[in-house]
Structure 1
Amino acid sequence: MYQSNKKKMNMVSGGDAALVLTTDPKPRLRWTVELHDRFVDAVAQLGGPDKATPKTIMRVMGVKGLTLYHLKSHLQKFRLGKQPHKELNDHKDGDRGSRLGEGHTSNTCASSRMMSQDMNEGFQITEALRMQLEVQRRLHEQLEVQRHLQLRIEAQ
């Protein structure tokens, strides 16, 4: 029996923002650019990702259908710097200092995004090292199996 991997989406409008939910047994929220921007603005209003809580973010955002579960998960990823920031990723590392304050209402917001990008880069390096160690572990296992087979062949 073949099942399609495509997920159907449901739109839930709330205020002037719309939530996009999958129709899986456990519906997931699709974080649109507009919704993420509202999230970032709410976090900035509340004093940054370390001071903001899911409950206060939910109050500030005022989006119908958004749950603490959605916000808790998104805030955790945001704190860890895993969120892709399109405007930051479009620039090279060399011009990082020149864009501080460009198009931002406060230096706090700019430095928060800079820290987020640095954390994201650190996460990517950590992830690459983890993957490299996994490949090395698998190669080691293959060598062990080959050595074991070689010993069995020689014993015959």
Structure 2
Amino acid sequence: MPEIGVALPSSLSGETSKVGDWIAADTGRQRPWLCGFSNGAAMAASLLLSNPGAYSGLIMIGGCFAVEDGDLPDNGLLDKPVLFCRGQFDDVIPRHKFEQAEAYLSGPSGARATFIPYEGGHELPLPIKAAVQGWLGAESR
């Protein structure tokens, strides 16, 4: 039985490729940034892992990677800027999934990761908006 709050890789795989194709159809000149909250963060992370060269970076808020432990590739996000935000009292996403994400992003991923824990649970509080805007502005220069 799957854990509540954990995105299943099988449930994301088909949808992730559809979203990736939709983004790829954009003829814009800049590589887009991926951002998601909760399951949207899992999808955004899956997109970046599947094709890192197609995207500028990743903002994950209140979400985790939709993979089993040990299935995250070394250097899978090499030199990619990643902002990882999570509520300190989030009771929807299992703590071990946040720990998995933080361990991966701070080491084996090769990402340039920034971590912002915030007061609160599985929600998107207003102060995070300013933090994300500031981080994205600095990374986009």
TM-score by length of 2: 0.30
Say which structure is richer in strand. 2
Question: What's the TM-score once normalised by structure 1's chain length?
Answer: 0.28
Greater gyration radius = 1
- Ranked by relative contact order (alpha carbons within 8 Å, sequence separation 6 or more), the top structure is 2
Task: Return the structure number with greater helix share.
Answer: 1
